[in-house]
Amino acid sequence: MHNYYTEKVNFYGSTTPHELIKQFGSPLYVYNEAILRQRCREMAGFIQYSNYKANYSTKANANLELLKIVHEEGLHADAMSPGEIYVLLAAGFHPEEIFYIGNNVSEEEMLYAVNLGIPVSVDSLSQLDTFGEINPGGKVAIRINPGIGAGHNEKVITGGKKTKFGINPDRIKDIEAILKKYNLNLIGINQHIGSLFMEGDVYLESVKTILTIAACFEGLQFIDLGGGFGIPYHKQEKEEPLELVQFGRRIGELLSDWAAGGNPDILFKIEPGRYITAECGILLGTVHALKENSGICYAGTDLGFNTLVRPVMYDSWHDVEVYSKNPLNFPEEKSYTIVGNICESGDIMARERKLPSLSKGDVLGIMDAGAYGYSMSSNYNNRLRPAEVLIGTGGKPRLIRRRDTLEDLLRNFCSDPLPAGRW
């Protein structure tokens, strides 16, 4: 291994990356149950306030078995689509434990949640009007743009002046007019400033802002403060994790002071996604080719961006571990650019990383891939999506989602099946 973080935390339990690849195939998503449960507990106890709940943001990873664990740990959940609602219900979540945060959704999607008794948030005046038309006299939440944004890439900043999300605070009078027009009951407000912040000051400012906005509305049942909590993707460089104790205490003090002003029963929520699942997941893949082009050493793998799109989409960093097929003969380091098997020049998982000299058959581990990994994967190039495996608290692996098959590529087509024997 190379800078073996996984050995430090006993990530693979009683097995090894090579054994996992042999049993379940390559590439492969591997999750660690103990780490997942620990992150759930950290978020569940993050804010010391009597009426507080952490909602897991399902979009980060919607694997059914992981959702069951999240529910067992007492978290509620946010959903962004009817599909996420459907899977959450299958995982054991009750409708009252789900919050549907829609974005430019149809009447049908809104009604799907409403008919199940799931609270709905809308993020524009237009969507609020639509909700009123289909559910007059109903209960609704609204997403506010706090005017503050944060994130590691402009594509994940969800608050401020350059975002499609939320209603600006200067439209409160318009909100009130639509609520009155349809006799709607505003039960909550929510916000989200962006993803992957590693210091809490910006988040704290957004909390102050939404509390100020909340004072404009009477009868709120809850305020969702948003998510975006970061994790240390640069573990090999000793990056420190997000400091939670003082951060959570400062938020708790803000909430307590505000609630004491006349809102003692209000529920405060947060919506972490990445923080819950990122570190519990690793993407394993195999080195199949080695070459040098114009002085750059390329490690050709089966880790195409169909398996993990974050490095291509966001220029995201993921640490890389090397599991040599000859661990006792570990050579000197070389610089490698790790590329996949997709026919795109941007199919690059990591650029010019110092790694032990690689050989065909070595296994690579892409760290912190549990969030926005499989959930954003695809069948581009008609590549098959990987299997997913869970290392249980006892250290044994268990298949929790099978690998795609070639037959899966044809499953939803409405044409005659191919003649027998074509595959």
- The residues carrying an active-site annotation are 343
Element (H, E) at 31: strand 28-32
Q: What HEC string does 131-191 produce?
A: HHHHCCCCEEEEEECCCCCCCCCHHHECCCCCCCCCECHHHHHHHHHHHHHCCCEEEEEEC
Alpha helices in 54-154, H assignment, sequence order = 64-72, 82-90, 107-116, 125-134
Pairing of strands 76-79, 320-323: unpaired
Tally of CB atoms within 10 A around 416: 6
Report the candidate in 175, 168, 183, 173 with the shortest Cα–Cα distance to residue 132: 183
Both tokens assigned to 158? 């969800």
- Whether the ω angle into residue 27 lies within 30 degrees of 0, i.e. cis, is yes
* Residues 272, 325: Cα–Cα separation, whole Å: 37
How far apart are alpha carbons 263 and 193 in whole angstroms?
Answer: 24
